[in-house]
Amino acid sequence: MTVAEKKLLLDINDLKVHFNIMPASSWPWTKPGKLKAVDGVNIRLFEGETLGVVGESGCGKSTLARAIIGLVEATDGKAVWLGEDLTRMPASQKREKRKEIQMIFQDPLASLNPRMTIGEIIAEPLKTFYPQLSNDEVKEQVRAMMKRVGLLPNVINRYPHEFSGGQCQRIGIARALILKPKLVICDEPVSALDVSIQAQVVNLLKELQKEMGLSLIFIAHDLSVVKHISDRVLVMYLGNAVELAEGDKLFANPQHPYTKALMSAVPVPDPDKERSKQIQLLEGDLPSPMHPPSGCVFRTRCPISTESCAQQKPVLKGGDSHAVSCLQV
């Protein structure tokens, strides 16, 4: 089934998240500066697909995810979920929508309450949204979900510190899926885990997605992991979307200079190809999101930039299968 034939779940239109930042040494009347964490992102997510989100640290990946789910407030733009704008929704209505959108966090242990048993942690969403369920019904669902994510039901009364990082992430996955959501946002869920455990968690997510009909937004730094799990990939730079494409197309033929630089840094499991590969190093430092460059935000590090790149800000052009934000491509 092509992207065009799938049901549209989430439509993000010109979404912006700006933070007011006061200088460390400032007078009371000093105006705060604006940190543009996300600066006008446009993406669409379809039913049953996995959208990978990649980019350097500080490019706005996690802020974008938190703006979608409502953990940070959007400054402007829209995040339309099944026809309803989440950014302008009353708090009570937005709370109900959280049953359909859940999140898995980066640090598995830090995201779990150390004073609660894992049974209580996984059961908390059920008790919040379905208070009519009896304790026996809640326990039955919790045990079933624990078994599904690879946790033995007899450890239900243990605490998070008694588990490894991989097991804690399985607890986080169970907590996110206990409500049977339609969308799960995975904010770098494997970055704190060993490589072998990463593969187990990624494969588990793929199995659960197929079984439960989930859509995923998968944020990661490891492009190999993103390639393995994603249907489409969004590349972000300094709060902006610079390229969006189907996974195979993006890795086979990246168009944006920044995407090419990222792809060139991915290790190739063939020693001969790895030695002969030309790595495209980016020159200069990452600009401050407080004072981004005019026009194209990537122009200060771009090998093909021209004077026009400083005058005009490019927009993401193309279809859902491949779109690029570059004046020179």
Domain with CATH 3.40.50.300 in the chain: 3-19+35-100+181-324
Question: Are the CB atoms for 12 and 79 separated by under 8 Å?
Answer: yes
CATH class given for the domain over 3-19+35-100+181-324: alpha beta
Cα pseudo-dihedral 154, 156, 162, 163, rounded to 10: 80
User: What pLDDT does 91 receive?
Assistant: 82
Rounded to the nearest angstrom, the gap between the alpha carbon of residue 27 and the centroid of all alpha carbons in its chain is 37
Q: How far apart are CA 237 and CA 37, in angstroms?
A: 10
Question: Are the CB atoms for 223 and 55 separated by under 8 Å?
Answer: no
Cα pseudo-dihedral 75, 3, 258, 285, rounded to 10: 30
User: What pLDDT does 3 receive?
Assistant: 56
User: What pLDDT does 139 receive?
Assistant: 95
Q: Cβ-count burial of 328 within 10 angstroms (0-12 exposed, 13-18 middle, 19+ buried)? A: middle
pLDDT in tens, 6-50: 899 999 999 999 999 887 777 777 888 899 999 999 999 999 999
Give me the residues of the chain with pLDDT under 50, please. Answer: none
Residue 139: CB atoms within 10 Å = 16
Terminus-to-terminus CA distance in the chain, angstroms?
29
pLDDT in tens, 280-291: 778 888 888 888
Written as one letter, the residue type at 49 is E
DSSP code per residue over 180-215: --SEEEEESTTTTS-HHHHHHHHHHHHHHHHHHT-E
Does an H or E element contain 263, and which? helix 257-264
Read off the pTM: 0.91
Instruction: Enumerate residues 6+ apart whose C-beta is below 8 A from 195.
Output: none
Q: How far apart are CA 70 and CA 78, in angstroms?
A: 12
Does an H or E element contain 262, and which? helix 257-264
Q: How far apart are CA 313 and CA 87, in angstroms?
A: 25
